[in-house]
Each structure stands twice: as structure tokens, then as C-alpha cells.
Structure 1
Amino acid sequence: MTDAPTIHPNATVADCDLGVWTEVGDGTVMKDVEMGDYSYITRNCHVVWAAIGKFCSIANDTRINPGNHPTWRATQHHSVYRAEAYGLGDDDHDFFQWRKEHWVTIGHDVWIGHGVTVTAGVTIGDGAVVGAGAVVTRDVAPYTFAGGVLKLGLSSAAFRKSRPKRYKRLRFGTGRATSIRPRCLTFVHWRLTVSFKNTADHCAVSMPTQRPFAATASAIVVGTH
């Protein structure tokens, strides 16, 4: 790996903005995606219309923002919005615009396990962990573990009651979260603005001297993106 994005020859990356020291694995497809510095995504993943933070770890076979179908129509088949492919006229551009408006947002230092599906419009907070095989249809709070099928529309209490083996919990516990989470959320690395410049073969990095948890606004690295 180098500071330039490392993209496997068998990966497909289109209209993406990748930070420094990022990696895209074998067979992965990414379109219209922003991925921050030091994040990586492994094999056979599919990501579209998503913003991924820095220092994220995304395992094999993950789907982020998979395609939706127009379930409110008489038929939800491709032919009603990909009409050109079937010789039925123009594609339904309004439908694709509707899909593009529901981006997935993933914070910094998020770990997404093997085979996870993250549906349209979901936000996963900084430091969260999503267990293998989860289907995420609702937001995940920062620094929580999440697993199973995260159902849309249930309150936290109702969710724990209805799915006692699939509820979410804090990474650091209720007490420790009070002191640890605010410091994690201001971790100095999140303030790095350095990214690989397509017009140059180098990037300048000026690391602050403060300890990570003592980072302040004056420690922000100045750069362009």
C-alpha cells in the first residue's frame, strides 16, 4: 500500500473520492462513494451513493445502499424504470434521483462485519460495530454494537423487548461512555484533512504535538481536499 488509494485490478471504482492509505479489495464495486483516509473495504462488496468516514473497516460481501424497487407501482420490475433496456422508451430519471437522495452515511472508525446489508438513508455513527450478517434499516448510534435485523421504526425499548437477542449496546458501557465517548468523538485523526492529490505525487502531513484525546481546534491539520 501507498498513500495513493490501493485498488485491486478486479475492483470497479467509478466517480469515487478516496482518501490517502485507502484500499478497495478484489471484486468490490463502488460508485459515487466518498471514503476517508485509512479506510478499507475488502472483497466482493457493493457500495453506491455513500459517504464513509476515516479509519473504517468493511468486511467481505457487504452491501451498502443496495437498489430499491418501486413497490408502490403496479409492477416493481426493472422495465418500469429501466425502460430503455427493454425498448419501452426513456428511463425513469425521477426514480433514480429519488434513490440518489437517500445516501448512506458511515462515520469514522466504524467496523462493519462480513455480509452486512446497510439500506438506503441509514446513518451509522462514529465508532460503531455492526455484526456479521446484520441487515441495518435504521440508524446506529455512535459507539454501539449492533447486530441482527435492525428494524425501522421501533424505539430502543420496543426493539429490545421484541428482539431480546438482537438489541444494540454501547461499546464502553453506560458509565464509561459518559467520559470516553466525548473524547473519542474529538479524536485528532478525525480532523485530518489531508487526502491524495491527483495532480501531485505527494501530500504534506503536519501532525499535531498534542496527545490524541487532548486535541483542540488549533491542532487541525491544514490541507486541501
Structure 2
Amino acid sequence: MNISDKKLGEEVLMHENVSVKNSQFGAYTEVGMFNFIENSSFDDYSYTGQFCFVQNTKIGKFSNIAAMVRIGPTDHPYNRPTLHHFTYRPNMYGFRTEDDQAFFEHRESRLTHIGHDTWIGHGAIISPEVTIGHGAVIGAGAVVTKDVEPYGIAVGVPAKVIKKRFTDDQIKKLLDIEWWHWSHDKIKRNYDDFFLNIEDFINKHYGN
């Protein structure tokens, strides 16, 4: 099927071989093939490519997540004598009958936040408790261990912001405009404006 033939709507579009646990999806969202989504939420219009692994994450609107991205990878207890998961999954090995629920609850509490209108490049990894600001770009293969400011472009291992997409004044005004909260009808009415240069877009919508 041609990608432009897909029709998204109020219900999430999930492709083949997707595993979802304790997660919510807004309108016009899409989950690519062979994704694993756990304890996460996708706000309206966000989507993932194939083979993504998303855990303990809140994703804003209009987030573009490329294939093979890992967000919120869970950790091991490196302060214990062993890193192995038999200490928090002892039932698997017959050591105890109950798993370490407190450890799993701690994992789930370490939320990652992906802002609105973000682009997460192919194969990027974003650590738990990191916040990706609105409008930010994460380069392909980046390993993000610290917060990324709004409209920053971060690349590398570990990822560092190499530039901003726009000037500080333009960024401030875009954050005030918050076009990502517009209704579907308003976006449709103003669709052509998204092809304007950034200054013309701001001049038309800032303060309105």
C-alpha cells in the first residue's frame, strides 16, 4: 500500500506484530510493524516506524519517530553485587516465589518525555528520565542521556546539541503559538501556512 493511501482517524492504526501493554494512543496516531510499547502514551498525530521499543514514555503531539528507535530502555540494578535479573525475577529461577515488585515500580516511575513536533532519527536511543523539548531533532544513531532544549538539534554519542533550528526569538514565539494544540479543522484551514518561511508563519500567527 502506498503510504499516502493510508487513512488515519480517531483510532490508532497498528501494523503487524505489535505488542502493547498499559499504553494509550490519541487520534491520528500510528504504530509501525514489530513495535513493543509498554506503559507509555502517544498524543495525537504521533507515529513510529518499524522495530521501535518504547517503555515508560509520554510522547507529545506530532512526534515523528523513525525505525529502530529505543526510548526509555529499562536498567539493571548496578548497585547490587550482581547485575543479573535473577535478583528481581527470582521466580524464574526458583530462588523465591515473588518477584521484586518495588524494583519494577521504580523502573516505571522513571518516565521519559518527548515533546510536541519532534523528530527522533533512525536507531536513536533516549535514556529514562530524559526530556526532549518541543520541536527538537535527535540525529540518527544518537544516544541521548541528557535533556534536549526546544528546537535543538542533538547528535552523537553521547548526544550534544550542535545548533538550534531557529533564533531564540523565533523559538520563543513558536512556543507561544503552540500550533500543535490547534484543532484538526484549524490545521486544515491553515494548511498552506506550514509551507511559509518561518518568519512569515510567525508574523501571521503570533499573538492571534
Q: Could you state the TM-score of these two structures normalised by the residue count of structure 1?
A: 0.77
> CA–CA distance in 1 between the matches of 2:114 and 2:185?
26
1:7 paired with 2:7, answer no
| Code of the aligned partner of 2:93 | Y
Partner of 2:150: 142
Partner of 1:207: 186
Partner of 1:91: 99
> CA–CA distance in 2 between the matches of 1:215 and 1:169?
23
> CA–CA distance in 2 between the matches of 1:95 and 1:60?
29
Partner of 1:191: 181
Report the more deviating stretch, 10-19 or 105-114: 10-19
Partner of 1:169: 163
Partner of 2:79: 72
Structure 1 residues not aligned, in runs of 5+:
152-165, 195-204, 220-225
1:182 paired with 2:164, answer no
> CA–CA distance in 2 between the matches of 1:184 and 1:150?
28
1:185-222 alpha-carbon deviations (Å, 9 max, x no partner): 13343324x7xxxxxxxxxx553888875366xx8xxx
Partner of 2:121: 113
In structure 2, the residue corresponding to 1:182 is in which secondary structure?
helix
Partner of 1:127: 135
1:58 paired with 2:65, answer yes
1:54-100 alpha-carbon deviations (Å, 9 max, x no partner): 11110111000112000000001010001111122111111111111
Structure 2 residues not aligned, in runs of 5+:
1-6, 194-200
C-alpha deviation, 1:182, in angstroms: 1.7
CA contact (8 A) 2:174 2:206 kept: no
CA contact (8 A) 1:188 1:215 kept: no
**Structure having the larger proportion of residues in helix:** 2
C-alpha deviation, 1:167, in angstroms: 4.7
Partner of 2:110: 102
1:153-208 alpha-carbon deviations (Å, 9 max, x no partner): xxxxxxxxxxxxx5532112xxxx2321122213343324x7xxxxxxxxxx5538
Task: Name the % identity.
Answer: 38
1:122-176 alpha-carbon deviations (Å, 9 max, x no partner): 000000000010111110011010011237xxxxxxxxxxxxxx5532112xxxx
| Code of the aligned partner of 1:11 | V
> CA–CA distance in 2 between the matches of 1:187 and 1:10?
38
Partner of 2:33: 26
How many residues align? The count is: 188
CA contact (8 A) 2:68 2:123 kept: yes
> CA–CA distance in 1 between the matches of 2:50 and 2:82?
33
CA contact (8 A) 1:20 1:36 kept: yes
C-alpha deviation, 1:15, in angstroms: 1.7
